[in-house]
Amino acid sequence: MSINRFSVVVAGLAVVLALSGPFAFSANLDSLNAGRVGIQSAGPMAFGPDAILFVGDSAGAAIIAIDTGDRTPAKSAAKVDVKNIDQKIAALLGTTPDQILVNDAVVNPISKNVYLAVSRGLGPDAVPVILRVNAAGTITELSLDNIKHSVARLEDAPAVDAKDSRGRGLRVQTITDLAYVDGKVFVAGLSNEEFTSSFRSISFPFQGVSKSAGIEIYHGNHGRFETYSPIRTFLPFQLDGEPHILAAYTCTPLVKIPISALKPGKQVKGVTIAELGNRNRPIDMIAYNKGGQEYFLMANSSRGVMKLALKGLEKFQAITSEVDDKEGVPYETIAELQGVLQLDKFDDNNAMLLTDDNGSLNLRTVPLP
Amino acid sequence: MAVLMLAFAAAAQSVSIQKDGAGYKVAGWNPGSEDPPDGWSSIFALYAGEGDVPPMLGTYSVEDEVLVFRPRYPPTPGVRIRAVFRMPDGPPLEAVFQTAKANAPPSTYVEHVYPSTDVLPDNQLKLYIQFSAPMSRGEAWKRIHLLDETGSPVELPFVEIDQELWSPENRRLTVLFDPGRIKRGLLPHEEVGPPLIEGRQYTLVIDSDWRDARGVPLKEGFRKQFRVAPSDRVPPDVSNWRLIVPEAHTADAVVVRFPEPLDWALLQRVFDISGPAGPVAGSVAVERDETEWRFIPAEPWRPGEYQLLVDTVLEDLAGNHIGRPFDVDLNEFNQGMERVIPKTVSLWFWVGEK
């Protein structure tokens, strides 16, 4: 594989499309069993191979793999444009827009249907719902009543009913992002108690009670200090022929970490490649190729959407001095993309955005900048 | 055929849409035995709310020759439901159903904000906001403010995590000060400095507009004033703790006193006691502004040696935990992250006869 060549989360897609018929899917799909999905919350999601959807369930302390069965390739010119999608979702679910939360939006890389993780209700009894939006803008529910799925419990996470007089049942590992890469689901999380990094690698297909030992992520390059650094959002990508993740810490630096270093029980130090500075809340990232160049697109709270070139990143050394070279890799701001709440790659030429435009949510595709 | 047509026309006169328990039915119309080609939703659909919206999710059934729709999710009280029956060969029939919006009086309030102390280090890491009842998600970052001495809001003092770090019942929210502004050497720290400045006074303000899980605002807002002390970069050291040991055959508390306040939530769960008969069951209280931990055994103490096992994940207010400061100065700790920190440390005490 040449330098800078990308294969993003859906690396297996080309193979899947080439091998039509039952044999293509067997290994991953065979690991899933039909039945009711005991999901307690629907948070961050990611697509894996064979249109399998991984859903992060923070309340249930689990990752759930679901066979969406949605394996019909999209027509080439598919686009999505659904205005006021919050109103439409609320109507489907018999409630008001202020009683739903869209926790994540991801694109099925095969069908190009958009999947939404939704909470119906805002309290502790909120009902998790997974919705599917097709190119025509029709929204349907992915029923979890009887569907092929499997569950990986997050080790060490206490069961919700494990309450005792010691307040142990109050601890939650909130899943902030997840991704599938080459047979592994990587999960970033943040505790509501101790400030440590919780990054897990879980083999897929899930094997019984999945061992998902944590990986301690440190942030070692801010001046001469190092700290635990929980990862907020991350993106798998290929760098110099080696799989990496690009990760945004809760404390704003953007770092690269080789996936080979992400081993259960290990301590890992990310290499800072950019500092986003204050007032920035990294939300979502995608990677893409345009005109033979590889780029990252990152939505964040205050700077609109940032575009970074991958070129030179493989040679990029850590930011080490405290003030002089803070900028790190150069980036450009795509100012016209404002209010982005969710971002995913739609196809080779388009991104999917969920935006908040003056209080109403719109789902649409836009050309990659 | 003519007779059938007449019968249908006669029936159509009395067709009505009625709410029936959790379902909605078309009374006075016989749907026949076959599903319509475009599905029942093409004939009978219910719309929640206003505007151009898709029909509510739900299931259709024909029961005793009556078409019944049952919503997938019970409509939220206060939502306007418009039911439309598109009668074959007839004008559409509409009915509107609106249940009263729950109108409960505000009763939820902020019980407490931890740390309890009114003196916080300038590298304070987190706050816990404890509510009297479950709260709604999705608006925390609009409702929490930090004001400086002049009453001006401090800009973005907290990490605004979309997911919001709630306890399972949504009664306790964890709020992290922006670690980028606390960690030395980072751009936000250099650019805008830490959110708290030593020597100054601040007020944490929680708006009464914040909705509880019922959608009802808080009974009242909440304010907590505090003063800012110098940075704390020293990890808690168990050798500085004071143990007050009970006597055998009593159910008195064993008490641990710390020279500084420690993390309230972690204090609830990071200690374990085992003795001559194995693990000791009991209850925990955290007192004196989180400088004291008390453990009351379920059964009287037996004489003998006891081990107090402490998980080193325990943090002080600045996120320093046992054996490791929040940010390690590599000039002082050459080994840096490779240093091995034990998972637990132990304190031993002896419970004796009077």
- The residue with greater pLDDT, A169 or A126, is A126
Q: What is the pLDDT of residue A299?
A: 87
| Cβ atoms A105, A356 nearer than 8 A | no
Instruction: Report, as an integer, the average pLDDT of B329-348.
Output: 66
What is the SS3 string spanning A82-115? ECCHHHHHHHHCCCCHHHEEEEEEEECCCCCCEE
Q: Cα(B295)–Cα(B310) distance, rounded to whole angstroms?
A: 13
Contacts of B286 (CB under 8 A, 6+ apart): B264, B267, B268, B292, B293, B294
H-helix or E-strand spanning residue A124:
none
Instruction: Look up residue B266 and give its DSSP letter.
Output: H
CB-facing half-sphere around the CA of B109: CA atoms within 13 A? 9
Residue A323 has pLDDT above 70, yes or no: no
Mean pLDDT, range A336-348, rounded to an integer: 90
ipTM rounded to 2 decimals:
0.89
pLDDT of residue A324: 41
Q: Please check the confidence at residue B126 and state whether its pLDDT lies above 80.
A: yes
Whose tokens are 């897990």? That residue is A200
A309 against A343, higher pLDDT: A343
Contact of B173 with B165, CB cutoff 8 Å: yes
Distance CA B195, CA B145 (A): 12
Q: Identify whether the C-beta of residue A191 lies closer than 8 Å to the C-beta of residue A173.
A: yes
Position A109 scores a pLDDT of: 95
Contacts (Cβ under 8 Å, ≥6 apart) of A104: A42, A43, A44, A45, A116, A117, A342
Q: Report whether pLDDT(B326) > 50.
A: yes
Residue B67's pLDDT band (cuts 50, 70, 90)? very high
What is the arithmetic mean of pLDDT over A311-334?
Answer: 58
Q: For residue A241, which of A259, A263, A255 has the smallest C-alpha distance?
A: A259
Give me the pLDDT at residue A261, please. 83
Q: Of A271 and A364, which is predicted with more confidence?
A: A364
Cross-chain Cβ contact A176/B163 below 8 Å: yes
- Classify residue A139 by its DSSP letter: E
Going by C-alpha positions, the residue among B45, B58, B3, B9 that lies closest to residue B30 is: B9
Q: Is the alpha carbon torsion for B231, B310, B265, B224 positive or negative?
A: negative
pLDDT at B277 over 70: yes
Q: In 3D, which of B133, B104, B108 has the Cα closest to residue B207?
A: B108
User: In this predicted model, which residue has the larger pLDDT, A311 or B243?
Assistant: B243
Which H helix or E strand runs over B29?
none
Give residue B1's pLDDT band: very low, low, confident or very high (50, 70, 90): very low
Structural domains in chain B plus CATH codes: 9-98 (2.60.40), 110-229 (2.60.40.3710), 238-351 (2.60.40.1220)
Per the structure, the complete domain to which residue A233 belongs is given by 13-158+171-367
Return the residue in B108, B139, B187 with the most chain A beta carbons within 10 A, the one to mutate for interface testing. Answer: B187
pLDDT in tens, A74-110: 887 778 999 999 999 999 999 999 999 999 999 999 9
Are the CB atoms for B262 and B316 separated by under 8 Å? Answer: yes
Q: Kindly state the average pLDDT of the residues A211-225.
A: 53
Nearest to A148 by CA among A207, A72, A66: A66
pLDDT computed for residue A158 by the predictor: 47
Query: In angstroms, what separates the C-alpha of A341 from chain B's closest C-alpha?
Result: 10
The mean per-residue pLDDT over the stretch B10-37 comes to: 85
Tell whether A26 is covered by a domain. yes
Q: Return the higher-pLDDT residue of A286 and A198.
A: A286
Higher pLDDT, A155 or B175: B175
Residue A2's φ and ψ, nearest 5 degrees, are -80, 165
Q: Does A177 fall in a domain?
A: yes
| Partner A contacted by B186 (CB < 8 A) | yes
Using CA coordinates, name the residue in chain A closest to B182.
A251
What end-to-end distance do the CA atoms of chain A give, in Å?
25
- Give the residue with greater pLDDT, A5 vs B216: B216
Q: Is A7 domain-assigned?
A: no
* Residue A2 maps to a domain: no
* Residue A51 pLDDT exceeds 50: yes
Is B84 within 8 Å of chain A by CB?
no
Average pLDDT value for residue range A312-321: 55
User: What band does A224 get if pLDDT is binned at 50, 70 and 90?
Assistant: very low
Cα gap B339→B328, rounded to integer Å: 11
Instruction: Write down the mean pLDDT value for chain B.
Output: 89
A227 contact residues in B (CB cutoff 8 A)? 179, 183, 326-328
Task: Give every strand in the sheet of B222-229, ordered side by side.
Answer: B119-121, B222-229, B201-206, B144-147
Percentage of chain A modeled with pLDDT above 90: 43
Q: B96-122 pLDDT, tens per residue?
A: 998 888 789 999 999 999 999 999 999
Chain A CB contacts of B215 under 8 Å are 99, 122
* pLDDT reported for residue B351: 96
Share of chain B above pLDDT 70, in %: 89
**Band (B185; pLDDT cuts 50, 70, 90):** low
Strand-by-strand arrangement of the B254-257 sheet: B242-244, B254-257, B292-297, B282-287
Which residue from B142, B128, B136 is spatially nearest to B108, judged by alpha carbons? Answer: B136
Residue of A55, A81, A92 best to disrupt the B interface, most CBs of B under 10 A: A92
Residue B174 has its nearest CB partner, among A92, A139, A192, at A192
DSSP H helices, chain A, are 13-18, 26-30, 85-92
Distance, in angstroms, between B290 CA and closest chain A CA?
15
Residue B3 has pLDDT above 60, yes or no: no
Give the separation between CA B177 and CA B226, rounded to whole angstroms: 15
Optimal mutation site among B59, B159, B183, B283, interface A, most CBs of chain A within 10 A: B183
Residues of chain A contacting residue B183, judged by C-beta atoms under 8 Å apart = 219, 222, 225, 227, 251
What is the pLDDT, as a whole number, of residue B89? 79
- Please give the helix or strand (H or E) that residue B8 lies within, else none: helix B2-12
Q: Is B64 in the A-facing interface, judged by CB distances under 8 Å?
A: no
B174: amino acid identity, one letter: T
User: Which residues are registered as beta bridge partners of A141?
Assistant: A131
CA distance B271 to chain A (A): 9
Evaluate whether residue A6 is within a structural domain: no
Q: Is pLDDT larger for residue B25 or for residue B34? A: B25
Residues of B in contact with A103 (CB under 8 A): 162-163
Q: Are residues B186 and A275, on separate chains, in Cβ contact within 8 Å?
A: yes
CATH of residue A197's domain is 2.130.10
Q: Do B284 and A167 touch (CB under 8 A)?
A: yes
Q: A224 contacts in B (CB within 8 Å)?
A: 185, 329-331
pLDDT at position A317: 54
pLDDT at position A306 is 85
- Report CB contact under 8 Å: B183, A219: yes
**Radius of gyration (C-alpha) of chain A in whole angstroms:** 20
Is the bond into B259 cis (omega within 30 degrees of 0)? no
Query: Least CB-CB distance to B134: which of A124, A196, A322?
Result: A124
pLDDT at A104: 97
Q: What is the pLDDT of residue A325?
A: 39
- Position B348 scores a pLDDT of 96
Question: Residue B22's CB: how many other CB atoms inside 10 A?
Answer: 11
For residue A217, pLDDT beyond 80: no
Q: Residue A24 above 80 pLDDT?
A: no
A164 within a domain of the structure (yes/no)? no
Q: Where is pLDDT greater, at B94 or A322?
A: B94
- Does residue A215 fall inside a structural domain? yes
Res. A30: pLDDT tops 50: yes
Contact A232 B165 (CB under 8 A): no
Q: Where does B144-192 have alpha helices with state H?
A: 179-182, 187-192
Across the interface, whether the CB atoms of A326 and B49 are under 8 A apart is answered: no
Is B233 near chain A, with CB under 8 Å?
Answer: no
Q: Which strands, in side-by-side order, build the sheet including B344-351?
A: B278-279, B271-275, B304-311, B344-351
* Token couple for A361: 């949510």
Q: Give the residue carrying structure tokens 């869209």.
A: A102
What gap in Å lies between CA A144 and CA A142, rounded to an integer?
A: 6
| A324-335: pLDDT as tens digits | 434 556 778 887
pLDDT at A281 over 90: no
Confidence of residue B205 (pLDDT cuts 50, 70, 90): very high
Residue B92's contacts (CB-CB under 8 Å, 6 or more residues apart) are B84, B85, B86
pLDDT, residue A364, reads: 95
Task: Label residue A10 by pLDDT band (50, 70, 90).
Answer: very low
Nearest C-alpha of chain B: how many angstroms from A104? 10
The most confident of A223-232, A294-303, B238-247, by mean pLDDT = B238-247
Considering only residues A12 and A290, tell me which one the structure prediction assigns the higher pLDDT.
A290
Tell me the β-bridge partners of A247.
Answer: A234, A255
Nearest to A74 by CA among A31, A17, A116: A17
The answer to which of A101-105, A153-157, A173-177, B277-281 has the lowest mean pLDDT is: A153-157
pLDDT score of B314 more than 90 = yes
Q: Does residue A229 sit within a domain?
A: yes
Positive or negative: CA dihedral B316, B320, B324, B329: negative
Taking the C-alpha atoms of residue A224 and residue B329, their distance in angstroms, rounded to an integer, is 6
Residue A254: per-residue pLDDT: 78
Q: Residue B183: its pLDDT value, please? A: 61
Chain B residues within an 8 Å CB radius of A220: 336-337
Between the alpha carbon of residue A263 and those of residues A48, A65, A214, A266, B92, the distances in Å are 20, 21, 8, 6, 63
Query: How many domains does chain A divide into?
Result: 1
Residue A316 — pLDDT band, cuts 50, 70, 90?
A: low
DSSP bridge partners of B345? B310
Mean pLDDT of the B141-160 span = 93
Q: Given a cut of 70, is residue A3 above it in pLDDT?
A: no
Among candidates B74, B169, B188 on the partner chain, residue whose Cβ is nearest the Cβ of A124: B169
Q: Are A185 and A129 in contact (CB under 8 A)?
A: no
